[in-house]
Amino acid sequence: MSGVQESFAEVFGYPPEGVWAAPGRINLIGEHTDYNDGFALPFALDRVLSVAAARRTDGTLRLRSRQEPRGAEIPVTDLEPGALSGWAAYPAGSAWALTRAGHHVGGMDLLVDSAVPTGAGLSSSAAMTCASALAMVHLYGIGSDRSDIARTAQRAESEFVGMPCGTLDQTAAMLATGGHALFMDTRSARTEHVPFDPPAHGLALLAIDTRAPHRLVDGEYAQRRSCCERAARTLGVPALRDVDPHAAGTLDALPDERTRRRVRHVVTENERVLETVRLLNAGQPREVGPLLTASHASLRDDYEVSAPEVDTAVDAALEAGALGARITGAGFGGCAIALVEAHRAQSCTAAVRDAFRGAGFTPPVAFEAVPSAGARWVSTVP
Ligand code: ADP
Ligand code: MG
């Protein structure tokens, strides 16, 4: 029995009906493009959040986590935004979003166990809403496909938990496949699996959780979004996705230098995503390195969402011979990634650790990220 099954039996006193899992994700490139109708290229991690669950006949949802001391208990019929706070709002939100979509979800005991670090920008929250929704869909025989579940999970997080987010994280968690990144056109919702398998090319993709405290995340995020929306209106386009990157003088219509830099980030980042996809499809993953580094410079200087810890990680990785490195996730802390020759992974990690020690930062946590499968049904318990 896996750990999560045993824990379920200990907590609830009987075995679960099954176990479902959803991965964390890393965005390889395409940052702050999703709310501009643009492109992104996430992949799923080999680290998952697991959910063991069983139906109850009394309509009550009982929620527990191995990572949190407090659980929650609530009748499904009482679910509405604001009814629950804290972590339990994520799985409860999935039940609520399914009922809002017209499906029947009854009572359930649900226990969470996770290897996805929380709050590091690896999207443990989407792993939670996706794994929970998958368990509910399965146990209650709901006819939802993977894209439907991604939308359900997104609704759970944005409307029930109240965290404004696009669909990138949930779509990656549901639709990713091993050895590939997932190209997303956030306007059309079209996705495409793009070969991305660093180990097969003698490469390693290092993820470096800087453990930097997030600073001003919510307010800054909202400011970036509204700046982009205002700029699109000024330029007379539906979204910044529609700004022609090659038309000279386009940005002159914008009111100030800062807005021009914000727009330049979004426009050039979309181009970098498309170029990355082209290179990966051509079997040239090494050539992606400079695009990652250019993305970082753009996020640091034009979009101003980096943090000293992340810049330190990126600079140290590049000095140690990384092919490319960048901040990943919304920014103001969180994770950096570095694409390195596999034989340099260790020395690169050591260089980042040394740089953090020298700067007096909390030691980072580094690991190799291997593009892996999306959410899955792990097992049924007999
Ligand atoms: P990220 O998605 O980048 O990890 P978020 O702030 O969006 O960061 O989501 C983190 C939140 O998700 C946590 O504060 C907690 O409420 C919830 N969460 C994630 N993993 C777990 C877990 N294993 N147990 C309980 N809650 C969790
Ligand atoms: Mg999240």
Specify whether 171 is located in the same domain as 228. Answer: no
Specify whether 238 is located in the same domain as 328. Answer: yes
Residue 221 is predicted with a pLDDT of: 87
Residue 246 is predicted with a pLDDT of: 85
Using only the alpha carbons of the chain, give its radius of gyration: 21
Specify whether 136 is located in the same domain as 169. Answer: yes
Specify whether 65 is located in the same domain as 27. Answer: yes
Q: Six-digit token pair at 222?
A: 């909202």
Atom 15 of ligand 1, residue of closest alpha carbon: 87
For residue 116, the CA-to-ligand 1 centroid distance in Å is: 9
What ipTM was reported for this prediction? 0.99
Q: Is the CB of 114 under 6 A from ligand 1?
A: yes
Q: Closest Cα to residue 170, out of 21, 328, 376, 25?
A: 25
Distance, in Å, from the CA atom of 65 to the CA atom of 71, rounded to the nearest integer, reads 7
Q: Closest Cα to residue 150, out of 128, 165, 172, 135?
A: 172
The domain that holds 132 is classified in CATH as: 3.30.230.10
Specify whether 154 is located in the same domain as 234. Answer: no
Strand partners, 44: 25, 372
Distance, in Å, from the CA atom of 36 to the CA atom of 372, rounded to the nearest integer, reads 27
- Report whether 3 contacts 115 (CB < 8 A): no
Q: Is the CB of 67 under 6 A from ligand 1?
A: yes
Specify whether 154 is located in the same domain as 228. Answer: no
Q: Rounded to the nearest 5°, which phi and psi values hold at 274? A: -65, -40
Q: Closest Cα to residue 126, out of 170, 168, 171?
A: 170
| Backbone region of residue 59 per phi and psi (left: phi > 0; alpha: psi in -120 to 50; beta: other values) | left
Residue 359 half-sphere exposure toward CB, CA atoms < 13 A: 20
pTM metric for this prediction: 0.95
* Host domain of residue 200: 196-368
Q: Ligand 1 pocket: which of 112, 125, 129, 157 to mutate (most atoms <8 Å of CB)? A: 125
Q: Is the CB of 68 under 6 A from ligand 1?
A: yes
Specify whether 175 is located in the same domain as 244. Answer: no
Distance, in Å, from the CA atom of 317 to the CA atom of 328, rounded to the nearest integer, reads 14
Specify whether 185 is located in the same domain as 210. Answer: no
Q: Work out how many domains the chain is built from and give that number.
A: 2
Specify whether 184 is located in the same domain as 208. Answer: no
Q: Six-digit token pair at 272?
A: 């970098």
Per-residue pLDDT of the chain (382 residues; tens, 9 = 90+): 469 999 999 999 999 999 999 999 999 999 999 999 999 999 999 999 999 999 999 999 999 999 999 999 999 999 999 999 999 999 999 999 999 999 999 999 999 999 999 988 899 999 999 999 999 999 999 999 999 999 999 999 999 999 877 889 999 999 999 999 999 999 999 999 999 999 999 999 999 999 987 765 668 888 999 999 999 999 999 999 999 988 888 899 999 999 999 999 999 999 999 999 999 999 999 999 999 999 999 999 999 999 999 999 999 999 999 999 999 988 888 999 999 999 999 999 999 999 999 999 999 999 999 999 999 999 875 4
For residue 120, the CA-to-ligand 2 centroid distance in Å is: 9
- Exactly one of 169, 197, 218, 242 is catalytic; which is it? 169
Q: Ligand 1 pocket: which of 87, 167, 169 to mutate (most atoms <8 Å of CB)? A: 87
Distance, in Å, from the CA atom of 64 to the CA atom of 157, rounded to the nearest integer, reads 18
Specify whether 13 is located in the same domain as 159. Answer: yes
How far apart, in Å, are the Cα atoms of 365 and each of 49, 125, 217, 283, 361?
18, 19, 21, 30, 12
Atom 6 of ligand 1, residue of closest alpha carbon: 119
Q: Closest Cα to residue 118, out of 133, 130, 128, 105?
A: 128
Distance, in Å, from the CA atom of 109 to the CA atom of 64, rounded to the nearest integer, reads 8
Specify whether 147 is located in the same domain as 253. Answer: no
Atom 22 of ligand 1, residue of closest alpha carbon: 67
The domain that holds 301 is classified in CATH as: 3.30.70.890
- Whether 46 is a known active-site residue: answer no
SS3 (DSSP) at 88: coil
Specify whether 123 is located in the same domain as 62. Answer: yes
DSSP code for 198: G
C-alpha angle with apex 336: 332 to 340, nearest 5 degrees? 165
Q: Six-digit token pair at 352?
A: 């980042």
Residue 2 is predicted with a pLDDT of: 62
